[in-house]
Every structure is written in C-alpha cells, then in structure tokens.
C-alpha cells in the first residue's frame, strides 16, 4: 500500500535547505480586530483565525459560499481576503515538488473543497490549510490555529446555526478568485499578476 501511495505522490521532505526547494508558509490572520476580548482569548490559548498556505509566491485559501463550485482561491501572500488582519507567518520548511505537481495538488483539493461544503466547525479554512500543509510537507499546522473550532464542536449548541453554515455570497466564479476548472487554475497560476488586487 505504501508503495502505491509513494508512486502517486512522491514522498518528500520539508526539511530541505533553501537551495534545494520551495519554502512553504502557513499565513495566519486575525478574524477579529485586537481588543480586550481577543487579548483575553489569546491569554487563554484561543483565537479566531483564518489561514492559508503560501508556496511559490501564491497563497491558497478556502472559504464558504452557497454554490457547488470550489471554495479554494488564491490571494496575494500575507494580504489575505477582505476583513482579516495579518498576524504571523509560520515557516513549515522547504519542499522539492515541481510547480506542475503543486498545481495538480491544488486542482485535486479544489475538487474536494466546494464552497457549499464549508462548515465553521468541521470544514473551515484552517482544515483546508492543515490538509494542504500535510500533503505538501507531511507536517501538521500548530493546533492553536483551529482551537476555537475544536472547542465549538464540543459545545455546538452555543453557536447560532447561521454562524456554522456557509455565508451568503453574491460572488461569481472567475478564473482569479475561485479555482474551479483546470483551465482556470492554469491561467491563474501562469499569470500571477491577474489575481492581485
């Protein structure tokens, strides 16, 4: 079984030196502006965060919407989607995966993470980040990034249902925001300036 898996996705090390590969970062954003409440949450080890994976000068994220196309999208690294504040970047190491293999992996994940499958507690942006990070580097992201969702699964009755389901969205699929088809992601990845704001 391991041999079959290694033939499909080559086993790679995320501990290579700078000269040997591409650096992978987990970029973390505050969902709420810093205030007394958030500072108390940080003190208690809980925060509400958005995250994405930065590799090859692009940041891949996941978000919810009510449509049956991918919720995976590309943003400028360390800028994030609207409404979030950059908090920190975590170095996850270096990988030696070729760009076409990274593109193939993103396309695969884009098919697995539709916008209407988003769930604040069980399938959010941090779950996507953890999945992509693991597939790229074989490493896990720090647990504190998604701790609020884990706590929420223990007490689901505390959260209103509208917080848990995908948000209302008047967005339309474009080749630069949501990754839906191979031709669209290829166009976006080959022309990085097309997705910059």
Residues noted as catalytic: 50, 125
Which residue is associated with the tokens 């990754």? 179
d(CA 114, CA 19): 36
Give the C-alpha separation, 29 to 35, whole Å.
15
Pairing of strands 85-95, 22-30: antiparallel
Beta-carbon-side half-sphere exposure of residue 68 (alpha carbons within 13 Å): 0
CA-to-CA separations, 3 to 9, 63, 78, in angstroms, rounded: 10, 34, 37
Distance from the Cα of residue 84 to its chain's centroid: 14
94/76 Cα distance (integer angstroms)? 20
Nearest to 25 by CA among 95, 83, 97: 95
């Amino acid at each position: 079984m391991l041999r079959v898996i290694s033939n499909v996705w080559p086993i790679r090390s995320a501990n290579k030196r700078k000269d040997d590969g591409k650096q992978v970062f987990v970029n973390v954003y505050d969902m709420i502006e810093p205030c007394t409440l958030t500072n108390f949450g940080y003190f208690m080890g809980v925060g509400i965060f958005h995250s994405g994976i930065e590799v090859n000068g692009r940041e891949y994220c996941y978000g919810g919407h009510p449509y049956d196309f991918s919720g995976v999208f590309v943003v400028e690294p360390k800028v994030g989607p609207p409404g979030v504040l950059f908090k920190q970047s975590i170095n996850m190491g270096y990988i030696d995966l070729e760009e076409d293999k990274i593109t193939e992996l993103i396309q695969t994940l884009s098919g697995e993470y539709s916008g209407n499958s988003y769930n604040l507690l069980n399938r959010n942006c941090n779950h996507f980040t953890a999945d992509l990070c693991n597939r790229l580097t074989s490493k896990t992201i720090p647990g504190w990034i998604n701790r609020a969702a884990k706590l929420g699964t223990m007490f689901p009755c505390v959260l209103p249902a509208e917080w848990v389901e995908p948000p209302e969205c008047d967005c339309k699929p474009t080749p630069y925001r949501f990754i839906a088809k191979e031709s669209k992601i290829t166009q976006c990845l080959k022309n990085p300036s097309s997705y910059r704001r």
